[in-house]
Amino acid sequence: MAEVKQIPPVSEPGSNGAAAPRKSVSQDENAPHSAPSAPAYQARFAHIVGWGYHVPAKVITNHDLEQIVDTNDEWIRTRTGIAERHVAADPKETSVTLAVAAARKALEVADVPASKIDLIVCSTTTPEYSFPATACLIQNALGAHNAGAFDLSAACSGFVYGLAMARGQILAGDAEYVLVIGTETLSRIVDWTDRETCILFGDGAGAVLVAASDVPGGIMAVELGSDGSGGDTLIVPAGGSAMPTSLESVSSGMHYIKMDGKAVFRFATRVMASATRKVLDRAGFTTDEVDLVVPHQANIRIIQNSVLNQLKIPADKVFVNLERYGNTSTASIPIALCEAIEAGKLKPGYKVVFVGFGAGLTWAACAIDWRTPVEKQSTDWWRATRRQATYGAAAARSMWKRTVRWVYDVLPTDPEAPARDDGKDKETRDAPLKETARSRDAT
């Protein structure tokens, strides 16, 4: 097991301190008495120590949508609370580029180099490709050469699922630093002629760095749930093994989001409240003790019907920013978390809940005893320059590895074997892929 250490930015608990540390092996009455020199387990905790978000520059307002579909600003505002959303209008902006920008900010806040990350969990419903995993492309761009990386598919609940994975890895002693990212370019799978969905969604990414610490607190409990019987209420039908992409699937628009809005709405109001109750119970917090709720930003009426009305948590403790971003799916909670911190809504010692729901159907909540200082640290120029240099080095390393692979591809490995083509055919075939990789490296 890796050494447990105190992460410097995490402060000691105050009077409203934390849950009891986990039992050590020697305290466990079920452990065999004669167990030979069992390792002395130290209590480990998983704290969020860095956070960042990034959204594309292009904004589409409700008035802009009035020009595209039969809708109006008043309907969208009153039925959803949304006024505008950011959209990745530039084809070079992808789920990876948004995620990398958010992740770099999170690493900067934590002041941790990418080389220290043990695991990258990327939650997304709009991955760069079916495979490889978007997380691996992020790993490459960050130069996180010691990290494992995988994508997680739990739609809008995915970010909290990712936090649960991070916490599990850290408490098990398998990781010291886990980067959890939610990133979406939903504008690429939205049907811009469908007024029931195109008004809802936006693009963006949020990332947090979760670190192991012996300071009590951090992510204290998680609640994950699913109900696949409702899978068809929010779905992209084509592009998977059930309906592979074909001329027919594209011409019938099956590669776009299809949603039964009312069914999702009913489900959401139910599970948001029950998941919050369960996670608070598990963490040993009461609803009165909660200082901040960061809910999935889908629809203001869902938040009102669940968190405010059912749980009776006052509005000033519930952070909402969906008016400016719309529903960014799995990115919505980390983006809202970053903005809540910027707005001074989060302080060390606060009890915080993240709660979300989404396609699957899925839901997820986590309860956090927040200990990390949130004041903006001034970045000295030397650290900033060094950080930039490491990203430049990561791009160079990636280019070098690709070149080595290309050389192996072109050179005949067996001198007896007939000469292979000079690589030109392959070059032509791979040109679009290489262009994508080049533009990603350049950002």
Compute the least distance from the CB of residue 232 to ligand UT7, in Å: 14
Q: Which residues of 302-336 are buried (b: 16+ CB within 10 A; e: fewer)?
A: bbbbbbbebbebeeebbbbbbebbbbbbbbbbbbb
Compute the least distance from the CB of residue 173 to ligand UT7, in Å: 34
* Cβ proximity to ligand UT7, 70 vs 421, nearer residue: 70
Which one, of 88, 153, 93, 196, lies nearest residue 329 by Cα?
153
Which one, of 397, 82, 80, 413, lies nearest residue 261 by Cα?
80
* Cβ proximity to ligand UT7, 140 vs 269, nearer residue: 269
Looking at the DSSP assignment, which residues form a beta bridge with residue 212? 46
* Helix (H/G/I), strand (E/B), else coil: 46: strand
Task: Classify strands 59-61 and 84-86 as parallel, antiparallel or unpaired.
Answer: antiparallel
Compute the least distance from the CB of residue 301 to ligand UT7, in Å: 7
Compute the least distance from the CB of residue 181 to ligand UT7, in Å: 18
Spot the catalytic one: 296, 299, 305, 338: 296
* Cβ proximity to ligand UT7, 50 vs 81, nearer residue: 81
* Cβ proximity to ligand UT7, 133 vs 199, nearer residue: 199
Compute the least distance from the CB of residue 359 to ligand UT7, in Å: 7
Q: At what angle do helices 134-142 and 381-410 cross, to 10 degrees?
A: 120
Question: H or E stretch including 421?
Answer: none
Active site residue 145: no
Distance in angstroms (rounded) separating the CA atoms of residues 376 and 109? 8
Question: H or E stretch including 343?
Answer: none
* Cβ proximity to ligand UT7, 286 vs 309, nearer residue: 309
* Helix (H/G/I), strand (E/B), else coil: 73: helix
Spot the catalytic one: 156, 198, 338, 366: 156
**Position with the least CB separation from ligand UT7:** 261
Place of tokens 């069914």: 263
* Cβ proximity to ligand UT7, 83 vs 437, nearer residue: 83
Distance in angstroms (rounded) separating the CA atoms of residues 381 and 217? 32
Active site residue 296: yes
* Cβ proximity to ligand UT7, 259 vs 280, nearer residue: 259
Residue 242 is given by DSSP the state S
What is the DSSP code string of 120-188? EEEE-SS-SSSSS-HHHHHHHHHT-TT-EEEEE--GGGHHHHHHHHHHHHHHTTS-SEEEEEEEE-GGG
Per-residue tokens: 181: 């990212």
Binding residues vs ligand UT7 (CB under 6 A) = 71, 75, 79-80, 156, 195-196, 199, 234, 259, 261-262, 264-265, 268, 298-299, 327, 329, 358
Spot the catalytic one: 86, 122, 327, 338: 327
Compute the least distance from the CB of residue 134 to ligand UT7, in Å: 19
Compute the least distance from the CB of residue 153 to ligand UT7, in Å: 14
Compute the least distance from the CB of residue 75 to ligand UT7, in Å: 4
Distance in angstroms (rounded) separating the CA atoms of residues 168 and 152? 15
Describe the chain by its helix, strand, coil percentages, rounded to 5: 40, 20, 40
* Cβ proximity to ligand UT7, 261 vs 284, nearer residue: 261
Write phi, then psi, for 277 (nearest 5 degrees).
-60, -45
Q: Do residues 370 and 351 touch, judged by C-beta distance below 8 A? A: yes
123 CA to centre of own chain: 5
Catalytic residues: 156, 296, 327
